[in-house]
Amino acid sequence: MSEAPLRRRQTLDAGRPWIFGANARKRGEVAGKSKSVIPCWHASYSRGRQCGTRRPMTDQESLLAAIHESVELVPYDPAWPPAFEEERWRLLSLFPSAFVAIEHIGSTAIPGMRAKPIVDILAGVESLTGVDALAARLCEVGYATSAEFNASLSDRKWFMRWAHGRRTHHLHVVVHDGGIWRQRLAFRDRLRVDPQAAARYERLKARLAAEHRDDREAYTDAKADFVQSIVAGVLW
């Protein structure tokens, strides 16, 4: 089984076009307190723009701040699993026939582990064929994505939900029971039952978060060898 799926970069260049929409957004639900309806749109953002103001951020400013959010680990929060369950049921109710299964992955799915306060969601579909239509609908219910970045991926699609200038959820749409599905779950399940491996991973993340605070891509890439070693021990 190839290492490539685990090594591909999962972070996004803020200079690429982003898509988000708010047609289904109610007041205060996702980002800011605006009641305005905003259609899905493309916008290229440049680094360096400041969003810190005393007034409530607009949706555009909130998204920009979320894109540039630094890598920061926080103590484990027992609210993370309920937050996943809430979003899981929201997605299943909005798209009852789209997903075969939805799982909680990433560090927020490991009890007791320090993590970036972003709930990672693995959503399995029968096939990625036609997923572009699903992507457009996800952008209307609180998610954002990069069309260019997703077009470069052959094995998954990536989406981000955000609020008040911070990322809240990462949604990874993959083929159910495919390679990426099995690898992500194997890593999560191993760390849930192996305290020593979980402790090593937490120490690695703490060091890398300090080294790459403002570079999510470097932070993610630097974890790849450890993730690969755990998955290899489980699946191969």
What tens digit of pLDDT does each residue of 110-168 get? 999 999 999 999 999 999 998 888 999 999 999 999 888 888 888 999 999 999 999 99
Which of 136, 135, 141 has its CA nearest to residue 173?
Answer: 135
Secondary structure of residue 99 in the 3-state scheme: coil
E strands present in the chain? 18-20, 41-43, 101-105, 119-125, 143-145, 156-163, 166-175
Neighbours of 103 (CB within 10 A): 18
pLDDT on residue 154: 86
Q: What is the pLDDT of residues 156-186, one digit of tens each?
A: 999 999 999 999 999 999 999 999 999 999 9
Domain contains 94: yes
In this structure, are residues 220 and 10 in contact, taking their beta carbons and an 8 Å threshold?
yes
The CATH number covering residue 63 comes to 3.30.460.10
Domain contains 77: yes
Domain contains 196: no
Domain contains 145: yes
Helix axes 179-193, 195-211, angle to 10 degrees: 110
Q: Look up the domain containing 99 and give its range.
A: 14-176
Domain count, the chain: 1
Domain contains 200: no
Mean pLDDT, the chain, whole residue set: 82
pLDDT on residue 48: 36
pTM exceeds 0.85, yes or no: no
Domain contains 4: no
pLDDT on residue 20: 67
Question: Any idea which residue has 């779950």 for tokens?
Answer: 185
pLDDT on residue 150: 84
Domain contains 217: no
pLDDT on residue 126: 96
Which of 14, 9, 13, 31 has its CA nearest to residue 22?
Answer: 31
Domain contains 225: no
